[in-house]
Chain A
């Protein structure tokens, strides 16, 4: 059931079209993450939902009510900001209770709510402190607490973890995931960090240049991207993209050459007409290093050891570099000649308009 519905949302700045017709439906209790490169409009979209930016067309409906023109104070949404935006002159307790006091809720009830939130976020020892006496992680928890205490219809998060150091970020990410499980409230989360997007989201919305590129579960986006943009954006290290040549069309096969190695691609995995030019996308983990008789050969340029795995950057004959995932204890040396096997099953094909034209075979 649709809870938050965005229809053809438009936003113009003076000379800049920030949102170009956003359509999105979010169901109740869902954790939706907006992700995209800088300037793609993800923060603008969130701020427009929050009512901090006015829209120039389209509608936003929340729980069956049109809130497009409503003041943000009346939308019943809570937002956690990147800078935390705690009120500097108030104690943590006053920060938590600010919205409740404005809403003229009885004192006893306020105290009860503040107490339960501060207990669940371990803020009890900090209640009498001012924000500047807190560490980054503590401020973040207060900001989240301030949002929770109001029991809003939707939580909005605007890159809430980007000011934290790496270790704390991982910890807060887990806490957020737990929180969502516990509260079951709809959450909309903006980030530029695809790891946050992949780990937190029920559904990820990938934005590019003010438009939605693709919406789907993290795994869907990873395995079945709609476009080259999504394929390249999701996944670290990036997907390898190699132009194919010597294309031959056959009744049941689509045949092309990848640096001299001929690949037979089943025709039933091609959407529509067989194209005349094609770019082959393959993720590093679907390439493997073999001793001999590989599909491709190349020379190792650099090996990145990550402990649990290693990524080899390999230069192919035509100077193109591809990345191959190798085992953790690989004995590869720079400059070494290697053979690479390609897992044809996992190949994704793009046409010259950067659209995906291949279908992943359904697992039997």
Chain B
């Protein structure tokens, strides 16, 4: 009796959540098995797995998967390594600590589109960008970042966007580190580097795992930065899965193939999550 009432009371929210998830998922699965091209309305016959075949054999597929993984891993490494170093540096009180912290956190408040525009037009532009100006004043040829190193440009933008998140998490974690432990290590003859290596890094293991997992969720779906800056190009050089799916659905009007791509992206996310959680999950049990 008691249990059925509990279930009854929970039912509305459970059903809502289920519907919320089931309807888009089942529609995606449905679309991925029919011919659904906006240029040929009315011809929505069942095609089996042909959409998947189209998506996987697309010339952009292999580069897109590779770019997605390169982007993910590079940004993870850059944000975690720089994040740990910077947070350790700003952990000790110094003059202007408050302002420095706010400045370090602030890129996180800038929306991805604006972030990409800033980098595209103010930093990386080969004519009037700051990097070009630096190159010119040092007597070098300016680099056209977006066409010469498209993926690296995207990696820089996304890292800039996500470094603050890592710093935010790590700075908070460092504040909970026990000062008596550090003092004990000092008495034991440890230098600043030893304390960082043997006390701070192990202390940060769990926050690092958290940052890696949360960033993975968002980095697999990077889109705005690519859309605004490189447009996936040149060729497929900076196209990731999200952008390829967009390309299929809204540039080639093929909703069926795009849905198949979406399902593949879910699969990839699960594979990545499986390995990452196994790799960093060990730290979560400490």
Which residues of A are in contact with B by a Cβ distance under 8 Å? 50-52, 71-74, 77-79, 81-83, 85-90, 98-99, 102-103, 146, 150
Complex CA gap A88/B202 in Å reads 9
Binds A, one of B98-106, B137-145, B188-196, B217-225: B188-196
Report 25 cross-chain contacts, Cβ distance below 8 Å, ordered by A residue.
A50-B183, A52-B183, A72-B183, A72-B187, A73-B186, A73-B187, A73-B188, A73-B191, A74-B189, A78-B187, A81-B183, A85-B181, A85-B183, A86-B184, A87-B185, A88-B181, A88-B202, A88-B203, A89-B199, A89-B203, A98-B190, A102-B188, A102-B189, A103-B189, A146-B188
Return A77 CB to nearest CB of chain B, in Å. 7
Return B179 CB to nearest CB of chain A, in Å. 9
**Are A87 and B180 neighbours in the complex by a CB distance under 8 Å?**
no
Which residues of B are in contact with A by a Cβ distance under 8 Å? 178, 180-181, 183-191, 194, 198-199, 202-203, 205, 286
Residues in A neighbouring B188, C-beta threshold 8 A: 73, 78, 98-99, 102, 146, 150
Contact of A73 among B178, B189, B286 (CB under 8 A): B189
**Are A83 and B180 neighbours in the complex by a CB distance under 8 Å?**
yes
**Are B178 and A83 neighbours in the complex by a CB distance under 8 Å?**
yes
Residues in B neighbouring A87, C-beta threshold 8 A: 181, 184-185, 198-199
The binding surface of chain A is classed by DSSP as loop
Residues in B neighbouring A86, C-beta threshold 8 A: 181, 184
**Are B183 and A99 neighbours in the complex by a CB distance under 8 Å?**
no
Residues in B neighbouring A78, C-beta threshold 8 A: 187-188
Return A119 CB to nearest CB of chain B, in Å. 21
Number of A-B contacts (CB under 8 A): 65
Residues in B neighbouring A146, C-beta threshold 8 A: 184, 188
**Are B190 and A102 neighbours in the complex by a CB distance under 8 Å?**
yes
**Are A99 and B189 neighbours in the complex by a CB distance under 8 Å?**
yes
Residues in B neighbouring A79, C-beta threshold 8 A: 183-184, 187
Complex CA gap A139/B33 in Å reads 63
Return B170 CB to nearest CB of chain A, in Å. 17
Residues in B neighbouring A51, C-beta threshold 8 A: 186
Given contacts A52-B187, A89-B198, 10 further A-B contacts (CB under 8 A): A72-B183, A73-B187, A73-B191, A74-B189, A83-B180, A87-B198, A89-B203, A102-B188, A102-B189, A146-B184
Residues in A neighbouring B191, C-beta threshold 8 A: 73
Contact of B178 among A72, A85, A98 (CB under 8 A): A85
Complex CA gap A160/B190 in Å reads 22
Residues in B neighbouring A52, C-beta threshold 8 A: 183, 186-187
Complex CA gap A72/B286 in Å reads 30
Report if A89-B187 is in contact (Cβ < 8 Å); known contacts: A98-B198, A102-B194. no
Complex CA gap A88/B178 in Å reads 10
User: Which residue of chain B has its CB nearest to the CB of A81?
Assistant: B180
Residues in A neighbouring B189, C-beta threshold 8 A: 73-74, 99, 102-103
Interface core residue of B183, B190, B194 (most chain A CB under 10 Å): B183
Residues in A neighbouring B187, C-beta threshold 8 A: 50, 52, 72-73, 77-79
Complex CA gap A273/B286 in Å reads 70
Return B145 CB to nearest CB of chain A, in Å. 41
Complex CA gap A81/B182 in Å reads 11
Residues in B neighbouring A71, C-beta threshold 8 A: 186
User: Which residue of chain B has its CB nearest to the CB of A98?
Assistant: B188
User: Which residue of chain A has its CB nearest to the CB of B179?
Assistant: A85
Return B219 CB to nearest CB of chain A, in Å. 28
Residues in A neighbouring B181, C-beta threshold 8 A: 85-88
9 closest A-B pairs (Cβ-Cβ)?
A: A89-B202, A99-B188, A85-B180, A85-B184, A73-B189, A81-B180, A85-B181, A79-B187, A102-B189
Residues in B neighbouring A89, C-beta threshold 8 A: 198-199, 202-203, 205, 286
Complex CA gap A201/B180 in Å reads 25
Residues in B neighbouring A72, C-beta threshold 8 A: 183, 186-187
